């Protein structure tokens, strides 16, 4: 009896964690992308020359792997894991 109860409890815990919303994670990634984009644009606008574009490219290259990993962490989110408000934010991004 105890084993069945423990197994059932474990199963329910796994299901609860699997079904959790990913809103916080998605919102964090969207905020990171927004911050990155603003910084990239600022680099070009502050020095609208070939040197400014080169600086922006270096900045992009330095952040590319991190941004790709963050995007990969959320791109598999399914509709039931994301609230309607977060879906709207993702559509606007």
Please identify every stretch of the chain with a pLDDT value under 50, giving residue numbers as ranges: 1-2, 4-19
pLDDT of residue 92: 75
pLDDT of residue 24: 84
Asked if 52 and 44 count as a contact pair (C-beta separation under 8 A), the reply is yes
pLDDT of residue 27: 85
pLDDT of residue 26: 85
pLDDT of residue 20: 53
Asked if 43 and 60 count as a contact pair (C-beta separation under 8 A), the reply is no
pLDDT of residue 61: 95
Alpha carbons 23 and 20: distance in angstroms, whole number? 9
């Amino acid at each position: 009896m105890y084993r069945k109860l423990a197994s059932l409890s474990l199963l329910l815990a796994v299901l609860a964690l699997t079904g959790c919303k990913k809103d916080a994670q998605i919102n964090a990634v969207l905020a990171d992308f927004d911050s990155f984009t603003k910084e990239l644009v600022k680099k070009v606008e502050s020095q609208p020359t070939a040197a400014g574009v080169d600086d922006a490219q270096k900045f992009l290259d330095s952040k590319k792997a991190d941004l790709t990993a963050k995007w990969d962490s959320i791109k598999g989110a399914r509709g039931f894991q994301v609230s309607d408000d977060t879906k709207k934010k993702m559509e606007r991004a």
